[in-house]
Structure 1
Amino acid sequence: MGFCGNGISSMGSEEELKVLMDQRKRKRMISNRESARRSRMKKVKHFHDLSAKMAHLTNQNQQLLTTLNHTTQRYCILEAQNSVLRAQLGELNHRLHSLNHIIDFFNASNGVFEAMDFASRSFIDPAFDNFFNSFNVSYMNQPIMASAEAMLQY
């Protein structure tokens, strides 16, 4: 009879062991599901963070492109203006060089033109006479012909 009692108690402990194993298995499954859910939530949050960062960087990139285009346009305009100014500088340097030659010619004449009576001379063309009159500066008021469009090729 002792053997039968032992068999029943061992059967009871086997059932208890099986119930205990099933409980542990369920706990593990629940824990794994919860862990998988947290992992999915973490991935979703990471995805949203990356999407927001991408939108911000795309916006920033667009602003930089707009600024770059504006700066490039301003550079081209300034480069054209600079070319015009260089052309004007060249023309003014040429004019200055010519005027310095005329001054050197007058200085080298040792007063020959000063001794002449400018009112009575008839050998100088009246249109050319304005050139020798220091109070008539109309020859200096000639426009310098250089446009930005013509200078873009430089």
Structure 2
Amino acid sequence: MASSSGTSSGSSLIQNSGSEEDLVALMDQRKRKRMLSNRESARRSRMRKQKHLDDLVSQVDQLRKENQQILTSVNITTQQYMSVEAENSVLRAQVEELSHRLESLNEIIDYLNASTGVFGSAAASTMGNFDIGPSDSFFNPMDMAYMNMPIMASADMLQY
């Protein structure tokens, strides 16, 4: 019996060692399969990351272009604003100058009316209608005292 139990235990060791080798081979195969799966997963992850990075770079380029267009638009609008503002300043200065001239001319007319009566009520009413006709006072040599009177004008009237 001893010999039969020895053979049977020897054969079970052979079967166990075969099972162990199969088990080790199976584990190695699973390990390799897991490693390949992990490599593939890592490769896909790197590809996703690269695609995401490429998308971000593309978006940065697009935003830079848009930013440049906006800056150009702002610069053009600012230049137009400055041009209109300068033109507005010139027009305001001209309005002020013309207002001063009108005021000075009205003062001259008031002075002439007050001192000589050259522009009488009849002449003033025709001047209001812009129908200035010859007046007797202009043709009367004795009534030409207004010709010798100084004309009042300011320096800003002469600026043009």
Shared topology, TM-score over 0.5?
yes
1:53 aligns with 2:53: no
Task: Tell me: CA distance 1:144–1:63, structure 2 relative to 1, closer, same or farther (3 Å).
Answer: farther
- Deviation beyond 3 Å, 4+ runs, structure 1: 99-107
**Deviation (angstroms), 1:144:** 6.5
> Which of residues 12, 28, 35 is equivalent to 2:41?
35
> Any gaps of 5 or more consecutive residues in structure 1?
129-141, 146-154
> How far 1:27 moved relative to its partner?
0.8
Q: CA deviation at 1:119?
A: 1.1
**TM-score normalised by L of structure 2:** 0.69
Mapped to 1, the partners of 2:14 and 2:59 lie a distance apart of 67
What does residue 96 of structure 1 align with?
A: 102
Rounded to whole Å, the distance in 1 between the matches of 2:158 and 2:47 is: 76
Bigger Rg over Cα? 2
Structure 2 residue ranges without an equivalent (≥5) = 1-6, 122-135, 151-156
After TM superposition, give the deviation of residue 122 of structure 1 in Å: 2.9
Between the two structures, name the one with larger relative contact order (CA 8 Å, sep ≥ 6): 1
Percent identity between the two aligned chains: 50
Q: Residues of 1 paired with 2:117 and 2:52: CA distance?
A: 95
1:69 has 2:75 as partner = yes
RMSD: 2.8
**What's the TM-score once normalised by structure 1's chain length?**
0.71
